[in-house]
Structure 1
Amino acid sequence: MNLNISNLGKFVWKSQIVAGFGYQQVRNKWANWLMIRDVKRRRMSAENFLERSRINAIRKNDILPVEIRELADKDINKFEMNAIPLRINNRCVVTSRPRGIVKEWRMSRIVWRHLADYNKLSGVQRAMWG
Structure 2
Amino acid sequence: MAKTSSVEKNNRRRKLTGRYAAKRAALKAIVMDQKKPIEERFRAQLKLAALPRNSSKVRIRNRCEVTGRPRAYYRKLKMSRIALRGLGALGAIPGLVKSSW
Query: Which bin holds the TM-score, normalised by the shorter protein?
Result: 0.7 to 0.9
- Whole-angstrom CA distance in 1 between matches of 2:25 and 2:85: 37
Distance 2:65 2:96 in 1: 21
Among residues 24, 47, 50, which one is paired with 2:22 in the alignment? 50
Which of residues 86, 89, 100 is equivalent to 1:117?
Answer: 89
CA displacement at 1:31 relative to structure 2: 5.4
Distance 1:114 1:83 in 2: 34
CA distance in 2, matches of 1:36, 1:64: 40
- Note the alpha carbon deviations across 1:58-100, whole angstroms, 9 max, x for none: 1011111111101101110231111111111111122111100
User: Structure 1 length as normaliser, TM-score?
Assistant: 0.67
TM-score, structure 2 as length reference? 0.85
Partner SS for 1:48: helix
Partner of 2:62: 90
1:38 partner letter: N
Once the two structures are aligned, what percentage of the paired residues are identical? 27
Q: Which has the higher helix share?
A: 2
Listed as ranges, the matches of 1:5-84 within 5 Å are 32-84=4-56
Please state how far the C-alpha of 1:43 moved relative to its aligned partner.
Answer: 0.7
Higher radius of gyration, 1 or 2: 1
Counterparts in 2 of 1:91 and 1:70: CA distance versus 1, 3 Å: same
Partner of 1:101: 73
How many residue pairs get aligned? The number is 98
Instruction: Quote how far apart the aligned CAs of 1:127 are.
Output: 7.9
Match of 1:39, as an amino acid? N
Alignment check: 8 A CA contact 1:115 1:121 kept? yes
In the alignment, is the contact (CA less than 8 A) between 1:90 and 1:101 conserved in 2? Answer: yes
Structure 1: unaligned runs, 5 residues or longer: 1-29
Q: Tell me, what secondary structure is at the counterpart of 1:77?
A: helix
